[in-house]
Amino acid sequence: MYIEPPTRKPITVTTLAKLKGTGEKFTVLTAYDASFATLLEAAGVEVLLVGDSLGMVVQGQRTTVPVTVEDMIYHTRNVARGCRTALLMADMPFASYATVDQAVSNAARLMREGGAQMVKLEGGAWLVETVRQLSRNGIPVCAHLGLLPQSVHKLGGYKVQGREEAAAQQIVDEALALQDAGADVALVECIPAELATRLAAALKIPLIGIGAGSGCDAQVLVSYDMLGITPGRRPKFSKDFLTGHDSLQAAVEAYVRAVKSGEFPGPEHCIA
Protein backbone atom coordinates (compact mmCIF):
# COMPACT_ATOMS: atom_id res chain seq x y z
CA MET A 1 0.00 0.00 0.00
CA TYR A 2 1.30 3.47 -0.89
CA ILE A 3 -1.37 5.55 0.82
CA GLU A 4 -0.78 7.02 4.26
CA PRO A 5 -3.56 5.98 6.67
CA PRO A 6 -5.60 8.75 8.32
CA THR A 7 -4.54 9.93 11.77
CA ARG A 8 -8.08 10.43 13.07
CA LYS A 9 -9.53 8.37 15.89
CA PRO A 10 -11.59 5.32 14.86
CA ILE A 11 -15.14 6.16 13.81
CA THR A 12 -17.79 4.49 15.99
CA VAL A 13 -21.57 4.62 16.33
CA THR A 14 -20.97 7.20 19.08
CA THR A 15 -18.99 9.32 16.62
CA LEU A 16 -21.87 9.26 14.13
CA ALA A 17 -24.36 10.23 16.82
CA LYS A 18 -22.17 13.17 17.82
CA LEU A 19 -21.91 14.31 14.19
CA LYS A 20 -25.70 14.36 13.91
CA GLY A 21 -25.86 16.32 17.15
CA THR A 22 -23.48 18.98 15.85
CA GLY A 23 -25.02 19.07 12.38
CA GLU A 24 -21.83 17.96 10.63
CA LYS A 25 -22.58 15.71 7.67
CA PHE A 26 -20.61 12.51 7.16
CA THR A 27 -19.89 10.31 4.17
CA VAL A 28 -20.41 6.67 3.25
CA LEU A 29 -19.13 4.78 0.20
CA THR A 30 -19.20 1.14 -0.79
CA ALA A 31 -16.00 -0.91 -0.70
CA TYR A 32 -15.44 -4.50 -1.76
CA ASP A 33 -11.70 -5.04 -1.26
CA ALA A 34 -8.69 -3.95 0.81
CA SER A 35 -7.21 -1.53 -1.73
CA PHE A 36 -10.42 0.47 -2.12
CA ALA A 37 -10.92 0.42 1.65
CA THR A 38 -7.52 2.01 2.21
CA LEU A 39 -8.08 4.62 -0.51
CA LEU A 40 -11.56 5.64 0.66
CA GLU A 41 -10.48 5.85 4.28
CA ALA A 42 -7.44 7.99 3.42
CA ALA A 43 -9.72 10.35 1.48
CA GLY A 44 -11.78 10.99 4.62
CA VAL A 45 -14.80 8.69 4.23
CA GLU A 46 -16.22 7.92 7.67
CA VAL A 47 -18.19 4.74 6.91
CA LEU A 48 -17.32 1.93 4.48
CA LEU A 49 -20.30 -0.14 3.34
CA VAL A 50 -19.68 -3.62 2.00
CA GLY A 51 -22.86 -3.51 -0.03
CA ASP A 52 -24.66 -6.43 -1.59
CA SER A 53 -24.43 -4.14 -4.63
CA LEU A 54 -21.29 -6.21 -5.22
CA GLY A 55 -23.63 -8.69 -6.87
CA MET A 56 -24.20 -6.21 -9.68
CA VAL A 57 -20.97 -4.19 -9.91
CA VAL A 58 -18.48 -6.97 -9.07
CA GLN A 59 -20.24 -10.23 -9.97
CA GLY A 60 -22.22 -8.91 -12.94
CA GLN A 61 -25.60 -10.05 -11.63
CA ARG A 62 -28.82 -8.31 -12.68
CA THR A 63 -29.91 -7.72 -9.07
CA THR A 64 -28.54 -8.10 -5.54
CA VAL A 65 -30.69 -11.18 -4.88
CA PRO A 66 -28.08 -13.86 -5.82
CA VAL A 67 -25.53 -12.58 -3.25
CA THR A 68 -24.91 -15.06 -0.41
CA VAL A 69 -23.78 -14.76 3.19
CA GLU A 70 -20.50 -16.40 2.15
CA ASP A 71 -20.01 -13.72 -0.52
CA MET A 72 -20.58 -11.00 2.05
CA ILE A 73 -18.21 -12.54 4.60
CA TYR A 74 -15.48 -12.89 1.95
CA HIS A 75 -15.69 -9.27 0.79
CA THR A 76 -16.16 -7.86 4.29
CA ARG A 77 -13.06 -9.70 5.46
CA ASN A 78 -11.07 -8.23 2.57
CA VAL A 79 -12.29 -4.70 3.28
CA ALA A 80 -11.52 -5.12 6.99
CA ARG A 81 -7.87 -5.78 6.13
CA GLY A 82 -7.60 -2.34 4.54
CA CYS A 83 -9.76 -0.50 7.08
CA ARG A 84 -8.13 1.14 10.12
CA THR A 85 -10.33 4.02 11.28
CA ALA A 86 -13.54 4.00 9.22
CA LEU A 87 -16.64 2.27 10.58
CA LEU A 88 -17.17 -0.96 8.64
CA MET A 89 -20.80 -1.78 7.81
CA ALA A 90 -21.94 -4.86 5.90
CA ASP A 91 -25.20 -5.67 4.18
CA MET A 92 -27.10 -8.75 5.24
CA PRO A 93 -28.01 -10.33 1.90
CA PHE A 94 -31.36 -11.50 0.58
CA ALA A 95 -33.24 -13.95 2.85
CA SER A 96 -30.40 -14.09 5.39
CA TYR A 97 -32.58 -12.57 8.15
CA ALA A 98 -35.99 -14.14 7.48
CA THR A 99 -36.26 -15.12 11.16
CA VAL A 100 -34.82 -13.55 14.29
CA ASP A 101 -32.57 -16.53 15.03
CA GLN A 102 -31.29 -16.58 11.45
CA ALA A 103 -30.58 -12.85 11.59
CA VAL A 104 -28.62 -13.08 14.85
CA SER A 105 -26.62 -16.06 13.56
CA ASN A 106 -25.72 -14.48 10.20
CA ALA A 107 -25.02 -11.04 11.67
CA ALA A 108 -22.69 -12.65 14.21
CA ARG A 109 -20.85 -14.38 11.36
CA LEU A 110 -20.43 -11.10 9.49
CA MET A 111 -18.89 -9.59 12.61
CA ARG A 112 -16.89 -12.58 13.84
CA GLU A 113 -15.65 -13.92 10.48
CA GLY A 114 -15.86 -10.81 8.33
CA GLY A 115 -14.88 -8.09 10.79
CA ALA A 116 -18.01 -5.98 10.30
CA GLN A 117 -18.82 -3.43 13.00
CA MET A 118 -22.43 -2.88 11.91
CA VAL A 119 -24.95 -4.73 9.76
CA LYS A 120 -27.62 -3.29 7.47
CA LEU A 121 -31.06 -4.86 6.92
CA GLU A 122 -33.74 -3.90 4.40
CA GLY A 123 -37.29 -3.63 5.71
CA GLY A 124 -39.76 -1.87 7.93
CA ALA A 125 -41.94 -2.73 10.88
CA TRP A 126 -41.63 -6.49 10.43
CA LEU A 127 -37.98 -6.16 11.47
CA VAL A 128 -38.66 -4.51 14.84
CA GLU A 129 -38.16 -7.67 16.90
CA THR A 130 -35.14 -8.66 14.81
CA VAL A 131 -33.49 -5.29 15.40
CA ARG A 132 -34.32 -5.51 19.10
CA GLN A 133 -32.64 -8.91 19.41
CA LEU A 134 -29.60 -7.87 17.35
CA SER A 135 -29.18 -4.84 19.58
CA ARG A 136 -29.51 -6.97 22.72
CA ASN A 137 -26.75 -9.19 21.34
CA GLY A 138 -24.40 -6.25 20.92
CA ILE A 139 -24.75 -5.98 17.14
CA PRO A 140 -25.05 -2.41 15.79
CA VAL A 141 -27.78 -2.06 13.16
CA CYS A 142 -28.52 0.21 10.21
CA ALA A 143 -32.19 0.05 9.18
CA HIS A 144 -32.72 0.44 5.41
CA LEU A 145 -36.10 1.88 4.31
CA GLY A 146 -37.65 3.34 1.18
CA LEU A 147 -36.62 1.51 -1.99
CA LEU A 148 -35.48 -1.98 -1.00
CA PRO A 149 -33.31 -3.48 -3.78
CA GLN A 150 -33.63 -7.01 -2.35
CA SER A 151 -37.40 -6.72 -2.89
CA VAL A 152 -37.10 -5.62 -6.52
CA HIS A 153 -39.15 -8.56 -7.80
CA LYS A 154 -41.91 -7.89 -5.27
CA LEU A 155 -41.90 -4.16 -6.03
CA GLY A 156 -41.93 -4.75 -9.78
CA GLY A 157 -38.77 -2.74 -10.38
CA TYR A 158 -36.69 0.05 -8.89
CA LYS A 159 -39.42 2.55 -8.07
CA VAL A 160 -39.49 5.71 -5.95
CA GLN A 161 -41.12 5.13 -2.58
CA GLY A 162 -43.11 7.46 -0.31
CA ARG A 163 -44.65 9.79 -2.89
CA GLU A 164 -48.16 9.58 -1.44
CA GLU A 165 -48.73 10.90 2.08
CA ALA A 166 -49.90 7.55 3.47
CA ALA A 167 -46.77 5.83 2.17
CA ALA A 168 -44.58 8.67 3.43
CA GLN A 169 -46.08 8.51 6.91
CA GLN A 170 -45.57 4.75 6.94
CA ILE A 171 -41.85 5.21 6.26
CA VAL A 172 -41.61 7.74 9.10
CA ASP A 173 -43.54 5.51 11.51
CA GLU A 174 -41.47 2.44 10.66
CA ALA A 175 -38.19 4.34 10.99
CA LEU A 176 -39.22 5.55 14.44
CA ALA A 177 -40.23 2.02 15.46
CA LEU A 178 -36.88 0.63 14.32
CA GLN A 179 -35.08 3.42 16.17
CA ASP A 180 -36.99 2.55 19.32
CA ALA A 181 -36.08 -1.13 18.82
CA GLY A 182 -32.38 -0.23 18.92
CA ALA A 183 -31.29 0.69 15.40
CA ASP A 184 -28.19 2.90 15.57
CA VAL A 185 -28.51 4.41 12.08
CA ALA A 186 -31.18 4.55 9.39
CA LEU A 187 -30.74 4.66 5.62
CA VAL A 188 -33.34 5.73 3.07
CA GLU A 189 -33.16 5.13 -0.65
CA CYS A 190 -35.07 6.79 -3.48
CA ILE A 191 -37.62 8.78 -1.53
CA PRO A 192 -38.66 12.42 -2.12
CA ALA A 193 -36.19 14.94 -0.71
CA GLU A 194 -38.92 16.63 1.34
CA LEU A 195 -39.76 13.34 3.05
CA ALA A 196 -36.10 12.64 3.82
CA THR A 197 -35.69 16.06 5.43
CA ARG A 198 -38.81 15.45 7.50
CA LEU A 199 -37.51 12.04 8.55
CA ALA A 200 -34.07 13.33 9.52
CA ALA A 201 -35.73 15.87 11.81
CA ALA A 202 -37.95 13.22 13.40
CA LEU A 203 -35.14 10.75 14.13
CA LYS A 204 -32.63 10.98 16.95
CA ILE A 205 -30.29 8.58 15.13
CA PRO A 206 -28.33 9.62 12.02
CA LEU A 207 -30.08 9.30 8.65
CA ILE A 208 -28.04 8.29 5.59
CA GLY A 209 -29.54 9.06 2.20
CA ILE A 210 -29.12 7.82 -1.37
CA GLY A 211 -31.39 9.43 -3.89
CA ALA A 212 -33.09 11.20 -0.99
CA GLY A 213 -31.82 14.78 -1.17
CA SER A 214 -29.45 16.85 0.92
CA GLY A 215 -31.56 16.99 4.08
CA CYS A 216 -30.11 13.73 5.40
CA ASP A 217 -27.29 13.61 7.95
CA ALA A 218 -25.05 11.66 5.56
CA GLN A 219 -24.85 10.47 1.97
CA VAL A 220 -23.93 7.11 0.49
CA LEU A 221 -23.11 6.14 -3.08
CA VAL A 222 -21.87 3.02 -4.78
CA SER A 223 -18.18 3.82 -5.25
CA TYR A 224 -18.16 2.40 -8.78
CA ASP A 225 -21.00 4.80 -9.72
CA MET A 226 -19.29 7.92 -8.35
CA LEU A 227 -16.05 6.99 -10.11
CA GLY A 228 -17.76 6.35 -13.45
CA ILE A 229 -16.76 2.67 -13.47
CA THR A 230 -20.20 1.04 -13.56
CA PRO A 231 -21.21 0.13 -17.14
CA GLY A 232 -24.40 1.60 -18.55
CA ARG A 233 -26.35 4.66 -17.46
CA ARG A 234 -25.43 6.14 -14.08
CA PRO A 235 -28.32 6.51 -11.61
CA LYS A 236 -29.86 9.99 -11.51
CA PHE A 237 -28.94 10.40 -7.85
CA SER A 238 -25.23 9.74 -8.46
CA LYS A 239 -22.46 11.86 -9.94
CA ASP A 240 -19.15 11.04 -11.65
CA PHE A 241 -16.64 12.69 -9.32
CA LEU A 242 -13.64 11.36 -11.25
CA THR A 243 -14.26 13.74 -14.14
CA GLY A 244 -11.98 16.75 -13.66
CA HIS A 245 -9.69 15.00 -11.18
CA ASP A 246 -6.38 13.26 -11.81
CA SER A 247 -6.67 10.38 -9.33
CA LEU A 248 -9.19 8.16 -7.59
CA GLN A 249 -8.25 9.63 -4.22
CA ALA A 250 -8.77 13.19 -5.48
CA ALA A 251 -12.20 12.19 -6.77
CA VAL A 252 -13.20 10.68 -3.42
CA GLU A 253 -11.87 13.73 -1.57
CA ALA A 254 -14.06 15.88 -3.84
CA TYR A 255 -17.07 13.73 -2.92
CA VAL A 256 -16.33 14.13 0.78
CA ARG A 257 -16.03 17.92 0.43
CA ALA A 258 -19.21 18.14 -1.63
CA VAL A 259 -21.27 16.17 0.91
CA LYS A 260 -19.95 18.04 3.93
CA SER A 261 -20.53 21.44 2.30
CA GLY A 262 -24.05 20.51 1.20
CA GLU A 263 -23.13 20.90 -2.47
CA PHE A 264 -23.97 17.26 -3.15
CA PRO A 265 -26.58 16.09 -3.76
CA GLY A 266 -27.84 19.03 -5.76
CA PRO A 267 -31.40 19.51 -7.05
CA GLU A 268 -30.53 17.56 -10.21
CA HIS A 269 -29.76 14.48 -8.09
CA CYS A 270 -32.96 14.64 -6.04
CA ILE A 271 -36.43 13.18 -6.36
CA ALA A 272 -39.28 15.64 -6.15
| Helix (H), strand (E) at residue 137 | none
Q: Which tens digit of pLDDT belongs to each residue from 136-158?
A: 999 999 999 999 999 887 777 77
Q: Which tens digit of pLDDT belongs to each residue from 161-218?
A: 999 999 999 999 999 999 999 999 999 999 999 999 999 999 999 999 999 999 999 9
Q: Which domains, and CATH codes, for the chain?
A: 13-269 (3.20.20.60)
Q: Which residues contact 12 (CB under 8 A, 6 or more apart)?
A: 87, 117
- Residue 80 burial (CB count, 10 A): 21
- Active-site annotation holds for 189: yes
**Average pLDDT of the chain to the nearest whole number:** 94
Model confidence band, residue 247 (pLDDT cutoffs 50, 70, 90): very high
- Name the pTM for this structure: 0.95
CA atoms within 13 A on the CB side of 30: 23
Residue 259 has pLDDT above 70, yes or no: yes
C-alpha 166/C-alpha 182 separation (Å) is 25
Q: At what angle do helices 34-42 and 69-82 cross, to 10 degrees?
A: 50
Which residues are bridge partners to 87 per DSSP?
A: 47
Q: Which of 189, 194, 253, 263 is catalytic?
A: 189
Is residue 6 reached through a cis peptide bond, with omega within 30 degrees of 0 on the bond before it? no
Task: Give all strands (DSSP E) within 167-259, no chain letters.
Answer: 185-189, 207-210, 218-221
